[in-house]
Amino acid sequence: MIRRALATLVVGLAVAAGCSRGGAPAPQAGPRPPARVNGEAVGADAVRRELSQLAAGDAAPPTAELRHRALDAVVERALVLQEAQRRGATVKDEEVEHAFGALRAEYPPAAFEELLAQQKTSAAEVRTRLGEQLRMERVVADALAKVKVSDAEVRTYYDAHGDEFARGEQVKVLQVVTRTREDAEKARAEIARKPASFGDVARRASIAPEGKAGGELGWFGKDSGMPEVFLGCLKLPKNQLSPVMASPYGFHVFKVVDRRPAGRQPFEAVAGEIGQKLLAERRSRAQEEFLAGLRQAAKIEVDEAALAAVVPEAP
């Protein structure tokens, strides 16, 4: 829900700047606020920044629908921040500093200061916003803490969605890749004389990353998205060396060391993946319900005329 791009953090600052912490409307300077959330003003600047992100690269004037999408995003952050304040959610200074350091590390040193200047903000303001954002994240995390997926639910999903876990024939492959055909032929000849030397030859001669691990590519099949040169291994008999095969990557020598037939992936191999999928879906629904609950309990007043006057920032 909460992104950490610098521009979005500044949107949050504009939300906070337009809201009084005591619950009463803050004095407004400039344009009328496009909305009030439980009496707190949502400033036009916050909506403008969000609208600018949504409309990036679009030369056409923003539609009413796009303005409302921008407003909804800003209102959502305001609601969660109000809930964080209501619950007394707090974060430590060191947590804010850690988040600030992580954000700053995403940019080259000079670029971060340039971005602050472009966004007309300061490092202190960004720290303030990060603190509020961490409090908001804590509230959302608390709301989702009880969301669980049981082992029985994972098993039920697996049993009911057999097609998702169908797998074609797969092979486990070793390879040596060299820059020239001559080097590949030499490597192949050495392995042919002494089959157990494949790993040593790969570690010494292969230019591919897995060469350091003895050339092991692992398991793959026709549906694995591998380049065509690798798919040729599907026709290679087990424990037989391939001829030297050319590709844009170099010259390859392959050896299939194991095969497994087409079939359904075993439950144990995919249980973790299923659990993560179900948990993500359930958390997404729970978050939507949490936000919907905040909206339902809130008094949100929208000034359509003030909203219509909001235009994206000039590029």
For 248, counting Cβ atoms within 10 Å of its Cβ (0-12 exposed, 13-18 middle, 19+ buried), the class is exposed
The mean predicted confidence, pLDDT, of the chain is: 88
**214 Ramachandran zone, left/alpha/beta (phi>0; psi -120 to 50):** left
pLDDT, position 9: 54
Tokens at 102, concatenated: 């992580």
Whether 306 shows a pLDDT value over 90: the answer reads: yes
CB 25 within 8 A of CB 299: no
Q: How far apart are CA 296 and CA 276, in angstroms?
A: 30
pLDDT over 60 (residue 1): no
Confidence of residue 314 (pLDDT cuts 50, 70, 90): low
Residue 26 pLDDT greater than 50, yes or no: no
Q: In one letter, which amino acid is 68?
A: H
What's the pLDDT at 121? 87
What is the band of 120 on the pLDDT scale with cuts at 50, 70, 90? confident
Please report the domains of the chain, with CATH numbers, ordered by start residue: 6-147+282-308 (1.10.4030.10), 167-262 (3.10.50.40)
> Are 71 and 42 a contacting pair, CB within 8 Å?
yes
Task: Specify the pLDDT at position 167.
Answer: 86
Give bridge partners of residue 253 from the DSSP assignment.
176
- Residue 315's pLDDT is 61
* Strand bridging mode 35-37 / 170-178: unpaired
Does residue 174 have a pLDDT over 80? yes
The answer on pLDDT for 13 being more than 90 is no
Average pLDDT over residues 152-170: 92
Q: Which residues pair with 278 in a beta bridge?
A: none
Cα angle 273, 266, 261; round to 5 = 125
Instruction: Give residue-wise pLDDT tens across range 256-270.
Output: 999 989 888 899 999
Average pLDDT over residues 195-217: 95
Q: What per-residue confidence (pLDDT) applies to 24?
A: 42
216-258 tens-digit pLDDT: 999 998 877 888 889 889 999 999 999 999 999 999 999 999 9
Residue whose tokens read 């969301």 = 147
Q: Is the pLDDT of residue 21 over 60?
A: no
Alpha helices in 250-314 (DSSP H): 267-297, 304-308
In this prediction, residues 91-113 reach a mean pLDDT of 91
Q: How far from 269 is each of 31, 133, 262, 275, CA to CA, in Å?
A: 58, 37, 15, 12
Tell me if residue 74 falls in helix, strand or coil: helix
In one letter, which amino acid is 131? G
Is pLDDT at 27 greater than 80 in this prediction?
A: no
